[in-house]
Amino acid sequence: MDLPLLAALGALLCVCCSIEEGSAYTFRTFMGAEIATTAISSSAVVQRPCECRALCRDACVAVAIRRRLPSHFHCSFTEQKIAFTNDLVASTLDSRVFYKRQGCRTNFTLVDNVGCIYVSTVALNFTAAAASCPFDSQLFTANFLIDFNAMREYLLKNADSSSMNLWIGLNRTSNIETWKWFGSGTIQAPTPVGMVPGGTIPPSPYWGKNDPNENSDCAKILLKPTIGYFYHVADAQCSLEYKFLCKQI
């Protein structure tokens, strides 16, 4: 395929990535690295980094992305299994390599734009759930709304009816309107019903329309179509026992 055509395809595939890093989570990132010239199978010049990742399809194993001034990005693709211990990778300060996950741990499923996901078979309280995600994983967190929505869409298609409530890695801080993802990042929540209204937080695309409403510290995602919850966030008492959603780190 010629370069302009390839670049146009990248832009097309990337329409979804309105938030720049949105589709990065099916890749592992290595900063300061470039694919060695001998390993490059093709290349392209695009306008946004996510277009490089979107173009890494099928046989493509990894893509290196480098800024090309003034406002473009250069992608180098490889179909070889590069490793950071072999000579297919060169250290380059202003370049990043996105390496496709070649599969997930046992019992995890690779979900596009999300990462490797596991739905527990047992129901536990929040603390126990947080401690029970399999090795190398933690309760689900979303870095961006696009990841959160991709997760919801996957569950809507694939989760069974015993998984209407799933704990995720989000809990309340001392500020009742601020909820913290495990690791890092926060999302805002409307003031809970019955609390002094702050009135500053607009409806949130993460939360179900009636939540938070329990004055509780822990967050689950809830499937309840009758009230418009399609795995939207709801607060729940931390002592309740639910299945839980884990994501490989």
Ligand X SMILES: *[C@@H]1O[C@H](CO)[C@@H](O)[C@H](O)[C@H]1NC(C)=O
- What phi and psi, each to the nearest 5 degrees, are found at residue 67? -70, 135
User: Cis link prior to 212 (omega < 30° from 0)?
Assistant: yes
Size of the site for ligand X (CB under 6 A): 14
Please report, as residue ranges, which positions from 178 to 207 form the binding site for ligand X (by CB under 6 A).
180
Selected binder of ligand X within 79, 90, 92, 134 (CB under 6 A): 134
SS3 139: strand
Please report, as residue ranges, which positions from 23 to 62 form the binding site for ligand X (by CB under 6 A).
none
Closer CB to ligand X, 43 or 138, in the complex: 138
Nearest Cα residue to 158 out of 245, 248, 58 = 245
Six-digit token pair at 161? 């009816």
Burial class (CB in 10 A: 0-12, 13-18, 19+), 234: buried
Segment contacting ligand X (CB under 6 A): 24-32, 38-46, 119-127, 188-196?
A: 119-127
Segment contacting ligand X (CB under 6 A): 7-15, 41-49, 126-134, 147-155?
A: 126-134
Instruction: Give min distance, CB of 184 to ligand X, in A.
Output: 12
Selected binder of ligand X within 38, 85, 102, 106 (CB under 6 A): 106
The binding track of 152-171 with respect to ligand X, each residue x by CB under 6 A or -, is -------------------x
Nearest Cα residue to 22 out of 86, 112, 102, 99 = 112
Question: Counting contacts by CB under 6 A, is residue 133 touching ligand X?
Answer: no
